[in-house]
Amino acid sequence: MKKIKASDEIIQEARNIVDGLYFPLQGFLNEDDLRSILENMRLKSGQVWSMPVVFDISENEAQELKNENSIIITNKKDEFFVKDISIFKWDREFFVKNLYGTLDGAHPGVERAMKMKKFLLSGKVEKIRNSEKPGVFHLTSEQAKDIFKKNGWANVVAFQTRNPPHRSHEHLQKTALAEVDGILINPVIGSKKSGDFRDKHIIGAYQKLIKHHYEPGKAVLGTLHTFMRYAGPREAVFHALVRRNLGCTHMIIGRDHAGVGDYYGTYDAQKIFDNFTEDELGIRILRYENVTYCQGCGDMSEDGSCDHSQDQKIHLSGTKLREKLNNNEEIPEEFMRKEVIEYLKDNKDDLFV
């Protein structure tokens, strides 16, 4: 059986398939399922799935493997079988336009796709050897469900993040917690664009928040190991399905989920869920308006929930946080908890990718 080299990211995708995070996927997508997902956000079977999970190979590799039925992929540390393979040339422009809604090369997802190789290889993935020592916060589907069961949580809300927590995130999390038994705070760990926060500091900042500002036994911090696609609404659906597979019953979707720049509307990542029933998603989507700190109220406030003027509202975002840190500006406690501010300041020379 032939063995070919795969990137660490492809191996991580294989690991996520085997660990059940990408159910109903059993392997890398074939041509029919890929087209169906790009056109309809569903597999050919009709099951909801919004994100291509593909393995790109070169023309030389495609030629070398054309008569193979099964192969082994490896990054020298881990090995996976890919069985019943098929190889096909993909329509790059169709892929990019349908997934990202733009062909603009300045979009980081588009830029990434344009660098992919000419052919895609599909097939069922099975684990052979996995020497990867995941971080202490890494969770498989089985591990997450075990934690929720031990905590006695029947209803669990997931919160997706790629930034340290500011007060509006905390407000969304605690608002959702009022409806459920516990929360899984689930940062994405993996390849990100330049200027994003480093994974270790997202985790470190959340450790401070949970320790000092959460009721004990109400919050679990666990990491999701994959790369950011920056696909906005489609990625919101993908994130919700993965959290369903982790055992979560609810998912917070706020403004501009998984977005980048001005490519997507502020609430497009919420509106996309109108295409699906809750039963077929298998998870309830909690939609929240933009949250600001209202100086008139002296507290966090969702848009439209008070009568104070906009000049009394402090707008919070990961982008503004990065700007303040890069410019060595003071971060007020209305923006972020003091323990989190202190942590970020202590690590200011190593915060960003």
Tokens of 103: 């062909």
Active site residue 162: yes
Expressed in percent and rounded to 5, the helix, strand and coil fractions of the chain are 35, 25, 40
* DSSP assignment string, 209-233: HHHHHS-TTSEEE-BEES-----TH
Question: What number of other Cβ atoms are within 10 A of residue 48's Cβ?
Answer: 21
CA distances from 28 to 56, 113, 235, 242 (A): 10, 16, 17, 16
User: Count of alpha carbons within 13 Å of 143, Cβ hemisphere only?
Assistant: 14
84: part of which helix (H) or strand (E)?
Answer: strand 78-89
What is the residue-wise DSSP string for 92-113? HHHHHHHHHS---TTSHHHHHH
CA distances from 75 to 78, 79, 81, 130 (A): 6, 7, 13, 10
Q: Tokens in use for 62?
A: 């495609």
Residues 6+ apart with CB under 8 A from 252: 157, 158, 159, 160, 172, 173, 176, 286, 288
- How many whole angstroms separate alpha carbon 84 and alpha carbon 320? 48
Query: Which of 15, 162, 234, 255 is the catalytic position?
Result: 162
Among 189, 164, 73, 116, which Cα is nearest to 351's?
164
The whole-angstrom separation of Cα 235 and Cα 187 is 14
Any bridge partners for residue 332, and if so which?
none
Query: Which residue out of 16, 30, 163, 245 is catalytically annotated?
Result: 163
**Hey, which residues are catalytic here?**
162-163
